[in-house]
Chains A and B, each alone.
Chain A
Amino acid sequence: MPRLSQKKSKHTHYLQFISDPARLAKALADTEPTEQLTAWLNRLKRLYGVPFNYLVPNEKMLPNESIRFFQVDFNWIDALLEGACSIGHANETEARHAALLTAKLHAACGMTGATGNISAPTQVTGFLLRSQVVSGWPKLEVVAYGQDGTELTNVLRMEHISPSLLLYLVEGKIDHLLLREPAVGLHFGIDINGEKNLRYVTVPADAPAGTKPGDQMAVEPVPPTFRDKGNRTLKLNQLAANTATTLYANQANNAPDGSKLPFTSAEFALEMVEGTQEVEFQSNGSQ
């Protein structure tokens, strides 16, 4: 029976005790990190607060009007987290603890994505876009696709670091991505080349299979006419009449029995709607 009063022997015991990881782990089995800690580390893991010149050390890496793809180096992230967990070690006891506790903290904080659930992704990729597009279209939509063509939905971070710089991090490996104008941009206009391609209002029997109302027609586009070129004021009535004529000629606004359906401002609006632009980027295989 050891003597309780022998401080020295006890201390060696204690050091032995904490240098045995198995026993230490058992002692710490019930200690769970608080929500406050894991939430903060989760944000740190997604590189919130890290100075930008640590992320992009050289401005040549990201010139003006450029887009750069990257993979996230988890070693770097681990080192970052470890540094954050390293405060307050003063003696060997705490260092021994830290070995276990840091791992515990690591395990407890995942990366929260757009979906809101915390996951521990094994691979994170992303891109940095530095362009006037970012400032000009603040509500730019980004859709990233993996190699098998599925959409990558767990967006870990999508943020304007500065008005013209967008950082995007997503779980998985980006194979190609689409940058879209915000969908509210559904608008009215004529095509870029100054003509107006038409859409089916109703689908005639001889249309290609799978055609839906609203799909583009493969007929000669209708050129709009101006009241006078200088003022760029459209002759809407004439455009509407020409459009209606073309539609009827192609059986694209007719009832099933072939009779003409009315052509009103509703049909005209359908013909005049222009979609939003989107641009696709294919990342090259060297990543």
Chain B
Amino acid sequence: MGNANPPLEKGKITFINNHQPPLLDGEYVITVEQKLQNKNAAPSPAAAINEAYTNTKRFQVRGERFSIDSTEIESVFPPSNSQGEYENVLPHIVFSRKTLPWERTAHDQADSSWLALLLFDENDPIPEIQNIMVGDLQRSPFPHEEGGANQDSTLPGTAVSYLDISLEYSELMYDPCMAIDIPVSLFNNIVPGLVDLPWLTHARSVTPEQPARMGMAETDDISVESAVVVGNRLPEPNTKCTVHLVSLENMAPYLPSGDDYTPADIKLADGSAAEMVRLVSLKSWSYTSVDPKETFTGLLMDLDKEDGLRVFAINNPNPSDTEADSYVANGLKMGYTAMNHHTRQGCKTVSWYRGPFVPFEVPPTIFVPVPNGDPTDMPIQTADEAVRYNPETGMMDISYASAWQIGRLLALQDKGFSVALYNWKRSCTLATVMEFERQLLEQGVGETLGLTAKAHRDDPLVMHHAVAKFIKTRLKPYLIKEPPEDNDPPTGRQSPPAEMMPDITPTAFNTPQGNTFREGD
């Protein structure tokens, strides 16, 4: 398990020998008989009853046979199209239906599973996968479409296939399926022997400590049960391998037998030796087994890490003792890098730049309004304010200036954000102006209006209403009766007089669309 110094994710995994389904796949007949008889041994003829009622129902347990629905397959390992150090890894496949491998059998003595994983690599060679019909697994002609005439099977003359594919209910000769043709010699070498079959399948129930991590938070069932089929062959290193999940239903007579794996005598119908075996491929996937150097551990161990783990700085290839060189070396050690710098005046120089990732702890300097900082600090108005100059060397550090500038550009690039920010700032300005007006009114007419309660004085609206009321009632006699024509329709918004608002002029950035500047709004 590697060096297990931190506790791995806790949980329990239980291995189970097998999950025999209550009924194997196939057709079943169920008969119910009910007899009605008078208990009295010698009843009167009128009461003599001796009748029997029987009822027969046929039903079928259907399961996968010539193809497996992809939803039944939970995962395969090694992952499809992955590469890794798999030369010591037996491929396996996990089924979400825990009884699937035992629903049919290979018909050996132990009634082992009907599924097996065969691994092929490039030297074998990898058998080509073919799209065929179920009828092509046997010799005699069969209809290739519904109501069609019988046509020949594509099974090659030198090949054998399943001993008995008598179709079950709802299976048709022209159902599509996938198959591979394996040369007999290869088949004998790689197919699991009769003695191996019992070891290739098992079931698992996994109980994670935190069910939510496996997306099972909504069910009460906190253990996941699954069935696993394991291969019996290790891939060669540095090859591309293909794994086929094949059906070995009723294939026991063809499998190697005994501890020395004596090949079975595979004969054609006419008694000559067969050259090919045709098997149904229920799923296939490929992966590449690579050089152990290119494994997870190998790659990570080979990472560039002189002197322990190097931090984020440039390695100085040829250090020397001159003052300038040591200065540069220090700069590099601090995570700086020298960049060409075109100043605003148009001259060219070389300046230090450093990104946000630095190789040591940086104390916070105080050049931006830090949160809860001194509010009298004015923010940076231009990027140049953040340029730092070192008079000893005449070099500039433009790190923070670049950061400021890139932040500004990113904000301008995002229209949604820039509009929202601008609107929020305007609403803040408006709040300030309202507050200022309130203060002005309070100073000017607060006492006159008798608004001495603090609550009244703090609310600009109360102030407004009071002043308006004052004007309407007390000053009405002094007002002009008919106001002059006014072209501006009233806006109906509480807004201060225009001259109190600061001048809003469009600034030098791309004006957000749909946001018109209304002077003095």
Q: Which A residues lie at the B interface, using CB under 8 A?
A: 1-2, 4, 7, 10-11, 13-14, 17-18, 21, 23-28, 30-31, 33-34, 36-37, 40, 44, 47, 49-51, 54-58, 60-61, 63, 65-91, 93-103, 106-107, 120, 123, 126, 128-129, 131-133, 136-137, 143, 145, 151, 178-179, 181, 183-192, 194, 216, 227-228, 231-238, 240, 264-270, 272, 274-284, 286-287
Contact = CB atoms under 8 A, between A and B. Distances in A.
B89 A266 contact: no
A281 B311 CA distance: 12
A11 B501 CA distance: 9
20 contacts: A11-B499, A44-B407, A55-B356, A57-B354, A65-B299, A65-B304, A71-B357, A76-B399, A100-B375, A102-B369, A106-B370, A107-B371, A126-B357, A136-B82, A194-B88, A266-B202, A268-B199, A279-B301, A286-B359, A287-B359
A103 B386 contact: no
The 10 A-B residue pairs whose C-beta atoms are closest, nearest first, are: A83-B407, A27-B435, A70-B357, A284-B308, A275-B1, A237-B195, A83-B404, A66-B304, A84-B411, A83-B408
A16 B235 CA distance: 82
A44 B410 contact: yes
A95 to B, nearest CB: 6
Interface stretch (B47-55, B57-65, B152-160, B423-431): B423-431
B24 interface: no
Contacts of B357: 55-56, 68, 70-73, 126, 128
B18 A265 contact: yes
Contact of B440 (A13, A137, A287): A13
A34 B420 contact: yes
Contacts of B192: 236
Contacts of A281: 300, 309
B190 interface: yes
B190 A233 contact: yes
Contacts of A68: 310-312, 357
B174 interface: no
Interface string B464-502: 000000000000000000000000000000000001101
Nearest to A80: B407
Nearest to A232: B234
A184 B75 contact: yes
Contacts of B45: none
Nearest to B375: A21
A143 B8 CA distance: 11
B106 to A, nearest CB: 14
Given A56-B357, A84-B407, A188-B230, A4 B444 contact: yes
Interface residues of B, number: 142
- Interface-centre pick from B83, B313, B424 (highest chain A CB count, 10 A): B424
Contact of A66 (B303, B371, B425): B303
A98 to B, nearest CB: 5
Given A133-B300, A228-B189, A76 B403 contact: yes
Contact of B17 (A67, A99, A264): A264
A79 B404 contact: yes
A70 B312 contact: yes
B233 A94 contact: no
Nearest to A169: B357
A57 B375 contact: no
A75 B88 contact: no
A56 B355 contact: yes
Nearest to A91: B502
Interface in B401-441: 401-412, 414, 416-418, 420-422, 424-425, 427-429, 431-436, 439-440
B429 A97 contact: yes
B295 interface: yes
Contacts of A33: 424
Given A189-B89, A234-B232, A275-B1, A103 B373 contact: yes
A61 to B, nearest CB: 6
B77 interface: yes
A13 B230 CA distance: 85
Interface stretch (B28-36, B243-251, B377-385): B377-385
Contact of A102 (B379, B414, B509): B379
A74 B307 CA distance: 27
